[in-house]
Amino acid sequence: MSNINLKFGRNITKDAGAFRLLELPPELCKLVEESTNAKLTIRGQPDEDAVLCTPERTYSLRSVVLSNSVLVVTPTSNPQDVVIRRQIHEILEPVPCLPRLQKLSTLLRGREYDEGHEEDEEIGEDEEGRPVSFKKPRFTYDDARGILQASDFELEKCLKDRRILVLNGCLRPIAPSHLTTVLEILLNALVSLSLSHENAPVEDLAASLQEEHDINRDITRQVMQWFGEVADNLWKMDVEATVREVGIGILRAHRHDSILEPQFLQKWKVAVGDTFESKVDIKLLSGNYLSRMSELGDAPVFELLYFPSSTLPSDPAARFADLFLTRPRWKAEEITPFLADIVVDAKDRDRLLLKHARAITNSEGVWYTTRVQMQ
């Protein structure tokens, strides 16, 4: 066994922050070993805790203190000597986490696309108080990718889930009312053109909406991609997602004034048409409404109030505070949909419920109440 001489490098102080050890969990090791072009990217602004992103997932980086120091050494021209560059007392451990996309809403504020708003313009005033229009600063996909702490897959999914258009390279959220209009017109066009929702020609539908309703073809194409699959210029509609979005669009008008469930369901069925009315199911709207027993009439009937989880705080403690201010107690199956967007999986959800809520079981099932004493 040969002897090795250890020497401290002259720049050990300068190198103090130059090295970090990253311990990869099994799924990341497998990704690196099996893929020739796997990319692991560190993302975050200077004032943020860094995250590690694979092409599909985001990981927070947790510091773990080592009981023994690890030396980073490099060889010298003398094979018997190595230079100590750094003593490391901790490793970084990647832990799966939700993508950090909360800033996107702020970054896109005022950029909403509505009917007739082709240009990304804003109305202001000149020095003499006269109204003038001016171009807003562009905010592109690459800008979002450089700022947000999320994998490319998660960012793409976010743009789809939040209904954010890419127009002339810029990100613009579509106005909810305009999205509902586009979907209802699409459903009507399928019927009027005698097209199957399983394989409808994309260009035929886009041309029809452009010519008859003055809806930009690019808008129609992107909406079809959000609500189905597009391949070989054919659209296979996701019936459940489309029917659900139309239902949310109708329910959105009842944020303050509730609507009786039978009345709402009838409006929903009319909006989606005879072909798809059998798919209408109140369960599709879980996480978007509150229900309570109506005091009108003798027969028991529920009334619905628009209450979307997307408007609740992303911080778990604040989310639970809002939920329990809205209702002092929740059935297990009622509160679960309002937690889906702030948890990684069911295990993470159960952990949050255990931390922020108290479970009570009675003849009606499991109920959750707050652990925080209300003032």
Band (180; pLDDT cuts 50, 70, 90): very high
- Alpha-carbon distance of 340 to 355, in angstroms, equals 16
Band (375; pLDDT cuts 50, 70, 90): very low
* pLDDT value of residue 368: 95
Band (290; pLDDT cuts 50, 70, 90): very high
* pLDDT value of residue 120: 53
- Output the CA angle 141-146-152, nearest 5 degrees: 65
The residues, ordered by sequence, that sit 6+ positions from 287 with a Cβ below 8 Å of its Cβ are: 308, 309, 337, 338, 340
pLDDT mean over 78-107: 87
* pLDDT value of residue 70: 83
- Name which CATH class applies to 5-97: mainly beta
For a pLDDT cut of 70, what percent of the chain falls above it?
89
* pLDDT value of residue 83: 81
pLDDT at residue 35 tops 70: yes
* pLDDT value of residue 197: 95
| Domain boundaries, given as residue ranges, for the chain | 5-97, 259-370
The residues, ordered by sequence, that sit 6+ positions from 45 with a Cβ below 8 Å of its Cβ are: 147
pLDDT at residue 30 tops 60: yes
Place of tokens 């007739």: 116
pLDDT mean over 225-244: 96
Q: Between β-strands 164-167 and 170-173, what pairing exists: parallel, antiparallel or unpaired? A: antiparallel
Band (280; pLDDT cuts 50, 70, 90): very high
Residue 169 tokens, joined: 């390279």
pLDDT mean over 253-259: 93
The alpha-helical segments, DSSP class H, found in 227-340 are 239-251, 261-272, 316-326, 332-335
* pLDDT value of residue 1: 47
* pLDDT value of residue 80: 78
* pLDDT value of residue 130: 62
Band (118; pLDDT cuts 50, 70, 90): low
The 10s digit of each residue's pLDDT in 330-344 is 999 999 999 999 998
Band (117; pLDDT cuts 50, 70, 90): low
Residue 209 CB burial class (10 angstroms; 0-12, 13-18, ≥19) = buried
Band (3; pLDDT cuts 50, 70, 90): confident
* pLDDT value of residue 71: 82
The 10s digit of each residue's pLDDT in 119-178 is 555 555 556 666 655 466 789 999 999 999 999 999 999 999 999 999 988 999 999 999
Round the average pLDDT of the chain to a whole number and report it: 88
Band (15; pLDDT cuts 50, 70, 90): low
CB 94 within 8 A of CB 52: yes
Name the 3-class secondary structure at 130.
Answer: coil
Residue 142 CB burial class (10 angstroms; 0-12, 13-18, ≥19) = exposed
- Is the overall model pTM greater than 0.85, yes or no? no
* Exposure b/e, 194-205, CB count within 10 A at least 16 = b: ebebeebebeeb
Task: Give the least confident one: 66-75, 142-151, 157-166, 307-316.
Answer: 66-75
Radius of gyration of the chain (CA): 27
pLDDT at residue 73 tops 60: yes
What count of Cα atoms within 13 Å lies in the side-chain half-sphere of residue 202?
Answer: 19
Nearest Cα to Cα of residue 302 among 332, 258, 366: 258
